[in-house]
Amino acid sequence: MFFATVGPTRALLLLPKLSHSIIPKSLLPSLTYKPIPPPIPNGTPFFPSPATRFPKMANHSTEISKRGHITHVIFDMDGLLIDTEGFYTQVQEIILARYNKTFDWSLKAKMMGKKAIESARVFVQESGISDKLSPEQFLEEREDMLQSLFPTCNLMPGVSRLINHLHSHGIPICVATGSHKRHFELKTQNHGDIFSMMHHIVLGDDPEVKQGKPSPDGFLAAAKRFKNCPEDFQNILVFEDAPSGVAAAKNAGMSVVMVPDPRLDRSYLAAADQVLSSLLNFNPSEWGLPPFEDAAPAQVAE
C-alpha cells in the first residue's frame, strides 16, 4: 500500500526504499493530481483525526472559531435558571381540561418567554376558547394556582456553579425576564444568594420594556444598564430556553446559547448559536470566558 500525490510537474511517492524512477515518466502527466497532507515530522503518513473523519464527533471546532469574545452575560429566568415552566404547564392543563381540550408543546412553545397578557392571548386564541374565556380571565384564574406553586421552585441543574463562577471572575451578569415584579419575588424568595450576584434585573413590567419577546426590548434595556456596556452587542451572551427569547436576543444583535426543554420540537432550535441539553454542559472557554477550575460535574447527553 502506498500514498501518492502526482501532478504534471511533480510526483511524490511514499514507498519505502523505492526510487521514483520505477514509474515511467510518460505516465506521470496522466495521473490525477489530488493533494494529501504532507508527512508529519517523523515521516509517518498523516491520517485525518477522528473529528475530521467523523464530523458528528467533532468538538464543534468550526462553530467555536466563529464565536466572539464574550464580555457580558444576560440570563433569562423561567425554565433557564429556575424550574417554573412545569408549573405553568400544570395549571394550563387544568384550565383546558374543563373545556375538553389538551395543552400540548406546540402551544406552549408559542407562549414561552412572552409577557403575561401576550401569552394569555395566544393561549385562548390558539386553544379555541376565546369565546368562553378572555385573556384577562385566564390570567386571573391561573394566578390563584401559581401563587402557591412559585415559592417551591428549584434551581435548574448547573445554575449555581455557572453563576458563582462568572461572578467570582468579575464577568458582568444580569437577568432579563418577562416575569412581573410580584411573580419574580415569589419565584426567587428562596434563591436570594443567586440573584444577589446579578448586576441588575430587568422585569417584564419594566417601563423600558414596551413589548415582550421576540421584541428585543428586554435585552436591550438589560445591556444598556451594564456599567461598561459593550459597543458590539455580539460580545453579550444570552442564555435562553424559549424560542421567542432566542429570537429576541438575535433581534438585539446578541449571541445566544439555548437550553431548551427536551420536549420542544427541534425545528425551534436552528436560530441559536449553540444548543445545550443542560447548563452543566456549558464550556465557558468556548466563548472566551474564564474556564472552570473545578472538575466538571456529570454532563447531560446532547
The catalytic residue positions are 76, 78
Q: Which contiguous run of DSSP H or E holds residue 160? A: helix 159-168
DSSP reduced 3-state for 78: strand
Rounded distance, CA 182 to CA 171, Å? 28
Of 120, 125, 139, give the one whose Cα is nearest residue 212.
120
Q: Are 138 and 118 in contact (CB under 8 A)?
A: no
DSSP 254: -
Long-range pairs of 16-23 with CB within 8 A, sequence gap ≥ 24: none
> How big is the CA angle at 185 (ends 181 and 187), to the nearest 5 degrees?
115
Give the burial class of 300: count Cβ atoms within 10 A of its Cβ; 0-12 exposed, 13-18 middle, 19 or more buried. Answer: middle
Residue whose entry in the numeric block shows the C-alpha cell 419565584 = 187
- Residue 16 has, within 13 A of its CA and on its CB side, a CA count of 4
Residue whose entry in the numeric block shows the C-alpha cell 485525518 = 48
DSSP reduced 3-state for 155: strand
* Distant-in-sequence, close-in-space partners of 299: CB < 8 Å, separation ≥ 6: 278, 280, 281
